[in-house]
Amino acid sequence: MPVMNKKAHKDILTELDYRWAQLNDMLASRPLHNAREGCKGRTHWVDTESMCATKGTARDVRLAVDDFLTILKEIRSTAK
């Protein structure tokens, strides 16, 4: 089992909570603005009630995932 300094442990848990909140916020769902949102070309969603979009843009979601992955890697490296 890994052993670490209590302050370092608290700091990493705080950072983990913050990054999880960011990721969760970016993945929150919202209704579509219109029936064509997210479609390519001239297509549209037939049943928009069964679809949702994320609160964050594709870029926002990617960045939040990358940030969360970074903190997980940090936890893994300190757990040796």
Residue scoring higher pLDDT (79 or 52): 52
| Residue 11 CB-density burial (10 A; 0-12 exposed, 13-18 middle, 19+ buried) | exposed
pLDDT in tens, 56-79: 999 999 999 999 999 999 999 887
Q: How many CB atoms lie within 10 A of CB 23?
A: 19
Q: CA 43, CA 54: separation in Å to the nearest integer?
A: 20
pLDDT at 1 over 80: no
State the pTM of this model: 0.81
Contacts of residue 74, defined as CB under 8 A and 6 or more positions apart, other chains included, come to: 12, 15
Quote the percentage of the chain above a pLDDT of 70: 100
